[in-house]
Amino acid sequence: MKTIIITGGAGFIGSHVVRRFVNNYPNYRIVNLDALTYAGNLENLKDVENASNYVFEHADITDEAAIEAVFSKYKPEAVIHLAAESHVDRSISGPMAFVKTNIIGTVNLLNAARKLWDGNWEGKRFYHVSTDEVYGSLGEEGFFYESTAYDPRSPYSASKASSDHLVRAYFHTYGLPVVISNCSNNYGPNHFPEKLIPLAIHRIQNNQEIPVYGKGENVRDWLYVEDHAAAIDVVFHKGPNGETYNIGGNNEWTNIDLIRLLCKIMDEKLGREVGTSEKLITFVKDRAGHDLRYAIDSTKLKTELGWQPSLTFEEGLPKTVDWYLANQEWLDRVTSGQYQNYFKQQYQER
Ligand code: NAD
Ligand code: DAU
């Protein structure tokens, strides 16, 4: 049985990756390594927590000794690294947590893998999951390619860029078998409601103002989270060592158009008169250094490895709204903070 450590598996994207690997690969033992920060929620994985090929390890990637201990306990053949501080606004108010987790944490993992594998690279893989934000901000035209020069502009993206550079440095310097992907904005179930789409869904439901930064003209390229998990699966299994793949939805929306569409969908689903939710839109002070536009060219992934997104936004957004409306308890427990008791109840008190 092959053992894979997935870091950040209790988070938004990580939980979809863990579920996919646990269900699709019974011959893999999946070790979910997560510190359970405010963004980690084991309730995301209730449906697989008792699977025989799944185990949870509560550990912080900034803790070198703890990481070495997990590696020597499980002796993984592979790592899929998603653990990170991920919210741009938090990086602006408190950059140090991003430096610690995203940079130092990544180096701790690289060191632990290098030490464990000790030059025996055959069958080993360190997969680093990164973001399109490392490329900076586009004007009205053009795309991010794998060859686009890095130009990060927020503490979050600078810390992710640093981690990408370090992962590549371990490949070139030591031969560590690495692969990297850089993805655009994800949306879908289990998204922490500090991010635009789940925040807006929650606020529309509760008839609260929807804060739109600046004039709402910033553009993001949205991808359904399960399509990102499917891309990670393909890159993990087929991407050659040392390669980088861009992952995107080819689905650009200005924030204001996106919020208007969401309002329309929510009015229909909640049986409200069309136009009711749009009245909640409130333009607020812009994010400092707000990147104007992201747009990914994922031709390399499509042509070399055969990945395609399965859902259009017109399918994925209503599906996402349906999920939040059907999982009110999940949202209530996250917004009230109750989800943070789950680890104690589930893993420490039985
Ligand atoms: P998230 O914030 O929802 O989850 C992050 C997870 O990492 C949480 O479970 C958290 O507990 C864990 N974590 C944080 N610090 C840790 C530490 N020090 N040690 C161990 N675990 C820790 O993040 P997400 O949106 O799911 O993003 C996952 C990864 O994908 C990140 O690396 C992010 O940069 C990248 N990414 C995200 C998006 C997006 O749109 N959300 C797009 C592209 C790339
Ligand atoms: O591009 C990939 C990145 O996408 C990931 O690497 C990040 O981890 C992820 O958080 C996301 O970053 P963004 O900053 O693009 O996502 P966020 O949901 O915070 O914001 C999306 C857009 O909406 C952005 O232009 C800022 C704007 N916004 C956001 C919030 C939270 C608002 O207008 N109002 C809001 O309340």
Q: What does the pLDDT read at residue 345?
A: 83
User: Which residue out of 37, 82, 86, 88 has the highest number of ligand 2 atoms within 8 Å of its CB and is therefore the one to mutate?
Assistant: 88
- Whole-number Å distance, alpha carbon 210 to ligand 2 midpoint, is 14
| Pick among 1.10.620.20, 3.40.50.720, 3.40.50.880, 3.20.20.70: CATH of 2-185+225-248+290-311 | 3.40.50.720
- Whole-number Å distance, alpha carbon 84 to ligand 1 midpoint, is 4
Query: Per-domain residue ranges for the chain?
Result: 2-185+225-248+290-311
**287 φ, ψ (degrees, to nearest 5):** -65, 140
- Whole-number Å distance, alpha carbon 252 to ligand 2 midpoint, is 13
Per-residue model confidence as pLDDT tens digits over 174-193: 999 999 999 999 999 999 99
User: Which residue out of 154, 190, 213 has the highest number of ligand 2 atoms within 8 Å of its CB and is therefore the one to mutate?
Assistant: 213
> Using a 6 Å CB cutoff, which residues line ligand 2?
86-88, 131-133, 184-185, 195-196, 199, 211-213, 218, 220, 255, 287, 294
Q: What does the pLDDT read at residue 346?
A: 80
Instruction: Please work out whether the CB of residue 35 comes within 6 Å of at least one atom of ligand 1.
Output: yes
- Whole-number Å distance, alpha carbon 275 to ligand 1 midpoint, is 35
Residue 350 has pLDDT above 60, yes or no: no
The burial of 239, by beta-carbon neighbours within 10 Å (0-12 exposed, 13-18 middle, 19 or more buried), is given as buried
Residue 144 has pLDDT above 80, yes or no: yes
Per-residue model confidence as pLDDT tens digits over 241-289: 999 999 999 999 999 999 999 999 999 999 999 999 999 999 999 999 9
Q: SS3 letters for 191-243?
A: CCCCCHHHHHHHHHHCCCCEEEECCCCCEEEEEEHHHHHHHHHHHHHHCCCCC
Q: What does the pLDDT read at residue 342?
A: 86
Per-residue model confidence as pLDDT tens digits over 47-103: 999 999 999 999 999 999 999 999 999 999 999 999 999 999 999 999 999 999 999
